[in-house]
Structure 1
Amino acid sequence: MSNKFLYIADPMCSWCYGFSLELSKLLETLPGAQLDIVLGGLRAYNTEVMDDDTRQMILSHWQKVADVSGLPFDMTGMNKPGFIYNTEPACRAVVTAKLLADDGDAGDLLRVFRAIQHAFYAEAKDVTNETVLAEICVEALNQDGAGAYDIESYLETLQSPSTHDETRQHFEQIQRWGIRGYPVLCVVKENGLHMIASGYTKLENLQQALKDLEKSV
């Protein structure tokens, strides 16, 4: 039986950015593993322009993630005039990928998620912009060379009322579960969800948690 995982995260959460590399490593060791993503809405629907104190606080978190994970960061993205740290569009872009692509394909879904993260953290792109998001996600989905996705259609689904509603349902589900921090990784079993990671977790610790879980269920 293949492993089924539920990943609870936000593409504009810096610790999720750090953790996604470890998650990708884990999935590479588990052929046929399935992954579903529930979007957290870290700063969803935020409308306030970022002030200097908030910027410095966020950049300090970014530096910690960079130190621990070794992943690249371009800190200049936080200096854009009038930048509003609203994570809802980026979350909705991942929901769009879930709607358009195969839900059970861990590779496709995580590739889109990580493409948004890389664009935001490593390339300082404005992933609150829907057109930018559509370009990023379509490129990620078309990496297999099939070219099955186009920006115009992706943008249409991204902006549709049903996708907005679906994204809000993700946020409401997270609230019902009482989850306040990301990332969280769970294994899906017949008797429910089993958490194997809360916060940034290295590959070897993920593997040990999986082993421990198999012994207990």
Structure 2
Amino acid sequence: MKHLLIVILFIMSFDWLNAQNPTIIYVGDPMCSWCYGFAPEISKVREALPDHEFKLVLGGLRPHGTETNADIGDFLREHWEEIHKRTGQPFKYDILEDKTMVYDTEPACRAVVAARNLNPEIELEFFKAVQDAFYAENRNMLDIETYLRIADEFELDSDQYRQTFDSEECKYETAQEFQLSSEMGIRGFPSVVVRHNGQLFLASNGFRTAEDLLRTIKNIQKEGN
């Protein structure tokens, strides 16, 4: 079975894309409900591939979105219930009763970029913490206090985190990640890309179990040798 080879014409400042070491690239958005459902699966993949580097690309599900729960709340509830039934991930639904809540995912993505800039080692764990804050705790994703609380849990300096989060540089870097996701041809979240022998291959475009995904990764690497 042949797998889609990804060719990126505009690599921008992502130097790690040119590296040769085996890498799993996870493309998602912390406010993407299927990414939340996928959280246990990608954790299993990481555990199964300790010799691989893992990179996170923030894809931007609804960056700068203006829709509110009054517009899409019913759709979200059905979606969340389906994901809970399929994955077992816990959802809290109270936030859907707030009809004024704006579904803008840019701040949540930028929150992860800010954390990565301060400590690159925590990007995937911070991503998961933001997911939990929204789906399991119903925290306000447009309020920086939500992210400051998480930053404190990761022992990041609050003032430094706030300054980084609010900076134009961080906003620009986040927008660049959205563009990278588009350049990679990503059309759905969560997606997983495998870098093997310096080339990028699409392993999944949407939710998959760890077992299924690991099988695909193995096939990609076997075909590429």
What's 1:67 paired with?
85
Percent of aligned positions with the same letter in both sequences? 36
Secondary structure (helix, strand or coil) at the match of 2:123 reads helix
TM, length-normalised to structure 2: 0.85
Question: Is residue 92–residue 138 contact of structure 2 (8 Å, CA) maintained in 1?
Answer: yes
After TM superposition, give the deviation of residue 190 of structure 1 in Å. 3.0
1:146 is matched with: none
Structure with the greater relative contact order (CA < 8 A, sep ≥ 6): 1 or 2?
A: 2
Question: Unpaired segments of 5 or more residues in structure 1?
Answer: 143-148
Q: Secondary structure at the match of 2:195?
A: strand
Cα distance 1:96–1:32, how it changes in 2: closer, same or farther (>3 A)?
A: farther
What is aligned with 1:90? 108
What residue number does 1:168 align with?
175
Please say if 1:23 is aligned against 2:37: no
| TM-score, length of structure 1 as denominator length | 0.88
1:57 aligns with 2:64: no
Matched to 2:184, the amino acid is: W
Would you say the 8 A contact 2:25–2:193 is kept in 1?
A: yes
Deviations 1:38-92 (A, max 9, x none): 11111110134331x5100011111111011101000112222421010000000
Q: Work out which of the residue numbers 114, 117, 120 in structure 1 matches 2:128.
A: 114
> Structure 1 residue 132 and structure 2 residue 128: aligned?
no
The CA RMSD measured in Å over matched residues stands at 1.7
Report the alpha carbon displacement of residue 138 of structure 1 after superposing the two structures with TM.
3.3
Cα offset, 1:158, TM superposition: 0.6
C-alpha contact (below 8 Å) 1:182/1:198 kept by paired residues: yes
What is the CA–CA distance in structure 2 between the aligned matches of 1:116 and 1:58, rounded to whole Å? Answer: 18
Aligned residues: 205
Could you tell me how far apart the structure 2 residues matched to 1:25 and 1:191 are? 24
In the TM superposition, residue 176 of structure 1 has moved relative to its aligned partner by: 2.7
CA distance in 2, matches of 1:138, 1:167: 21
The answer for the alignment partner of 1:145 in structure 2 is: none
Greater alpha carbon shift after TM alignment, 66-75 vs 130-139:
130-139
Q: Deviations over 1:106-136 (max 9, x none)?
A: xx22110000001100111112212211211
Q: Which amino acid aligns with 2:95?
A: G
Amino acid corresponding to residue 68 of structure 2 in structure 1: V
Q: CA deviation at 1:197?
A: 1.7
Equivalent residue number for residue 7 of structure 1? 26
Moved over 3 A (4+): none
